[in-house]
Amino acid sequence: MHEKPKIAFYWCASCGGCEEAVIDLAEEILDVVAAADIVFWPVALDFKRHDVERMPRASILATFLNGAIRTSEQEEMAKLLREKSTYLIAFGSCSHIGGVPGLANFFTRQSILQQVYLDAPTTENPNHVLPETNGRDGNRALSLPNFSEQVRSLDQVVDVDYYLPGCPPLPKIITAAASALLNGQLPEKGSVLAPDQALCTECSRKDSKPDKIAIKQFRRPQEVVIDETQCLLAQGLLCLGPATRAGCEAPCIQGNMPCTGCCGAPGRVRDQGAKALSAIASLIDSRDEAEIDQILATIPDPAGTFYRYSLPASLLHARRGV
Amino acid sequence: MPNLVELTPRNGNASAAVAEPLIVGFFCTWCTYLAADLAGTSRIKYSPNVRVVRVMCSGRIDPQFVLNAFARGADGVLIGGCHPGDCHYQEGNYNCLRRSRLLRRVLLDLGIEEERFRVEWISAAEGDRVRVVIDDMVGKLRKLGPLRMKRDGLPERIAAPELESPLPAGVAVEEVTV
| Span A240-271, pLDDT tens digits | 999 999 999 999 999 999 999 999 999 999 99
Confidence of residue B14 (pLDDT cuts 50, 70, 90): very low
Of A211, A292, A299, the CB nearest to B97: A292
Inter-axis angle of helices A289-296 and B92-109, to 10 degrees? Answer: 50
From chain A, the residues in CB contact with B69 under 8 A are none
Domains of chain A: 6-100+151-182 (3.40.50.700), 111-148 (no CATH), 199-306 (no CATH)
CA distance B113 to chain A (A): 10
| pLDDT at B11 > cutoff 50 | no
Is A188 near chain B, with CB under 8 Å?
Answer: no
Q: What is the pLDDT of residues B71-127, one digit of tens each?
A: 999 999 999 999 999 999 999 999 999 999 999 999 999 999 999 999 999 999 999
Selected for mutation to probe chain A from B68, B156, B158, B178 (highest A CB count within 10 Å) is B178
Contact A277 B99 (CB under 8 A): yes
Selected for mutation to probe chain B from A152, A155, A213, A316 (highest B CB count within 10 Å) is A316
Of A152, A157, A315, the CB nearest to B161: A315
Identify the CATH class of B4-144: alpha beta
Distance set, CA A90 to CA A18, A131, A263 (Å): 11, 29, 12
Q: Tell me the residue ranges of DSSP E strands in chain A.
A: 6-11, 37-40, 60-66, 69-71, 85-91, 134-137, 140-143, 147-152, 162-164
d(CA A231, CA A237): 9
Q: What is the pTM of this model?
A: 0.90
Cα torsion through B44, B49, B54, B55, rounded to 10: -120
Query: Which residues are A40's β-sheet partners?
Result: A8
Q: Report helix, strand or coil for B51.
A: strand
Alpha helix stretches (DSSP H) within A106-186: 109-114, 171-182
Contact B157 A197 (CB under 8 A): no
Instruction: Give the single-character DSSP code of B107.
Output: H
- At A31 the pLDDT is 86
A219-228 — which CB contacts under 8 Å span 24+ positions?
Answer: A219/A298, A221/A256, A221/A257, A221/A258, A226/A256, A228/A256
- At B15 the pLDDT is 46
| pLDDT at A1 > cutoff 60 | no
Q: What is the pLDDT of residues A111-153, one digit of tens each?
A: 999 999 999 999 999 999 999 899 888 899 999 999 999 999 9
The chain B residue lying nearest A154, using CA atoms, is B157
Amino acid at A92: G
| pLDDT at A226 > cutoff 70 | yes
